[in-house]
Amino acid sequence: MGVALLDLVETALRVAKQALGNRAGKPDSGGLAREAHIVAHCIRKEEGHTYAELVDRLSLMPAVCDRLGINPDAPPDPTTFYHSFDRYAMYI
């Protein structure tokens, strides 16, 4: 299961960067890279979690957090992912 999830993360990360084009990377205001938000949503949908469960699960997956640039000891608030989906839906 762990390898399949890492494969999903790698594939989704590549596709998200392609979809975002020049919008990929960290926003000017700081925070997570835009593609990391999209990959987090892919993980959430694949595993059927709520936003709060997603944050809890991410804190237990250091390899995924490392790839997405998330500190597993201080994961983002669930509302961060919730609101990001509204912002990036038009690009995907």
Is the sign of the CA dihedral 73, 56, 61, 39 positive or negative? negative
DSSP state of 22: G
* Domain chopping of the chain, boundaries: 1-19+32-88
> Where residue 68 falls among pLDDT bands split at 50, 70, 90?
very high
pLDDT at 15 over 90: yes
Q: From the centroid of its chain, how far is CA 74? A: 15
Give per-residue pLDDT as tens, 21-67: 888 888 777 788 889 988 998 899 888 999 899 999 998 999 999 99
Task: Please report, as a single letter, which amino acid is at residue 78.
Answer: P
pLDDT at 12 over 70: yes
- Amino acid 72: pLDDT: 86
d(CA 81, CA 2): 22
pTM here is 0.82
**Cβ atoms within 10 Å of 90's Cβ, excluding its own:** 6
> Where residue 79 falls among pLDDT bands split at 50, 70, 90?
confident
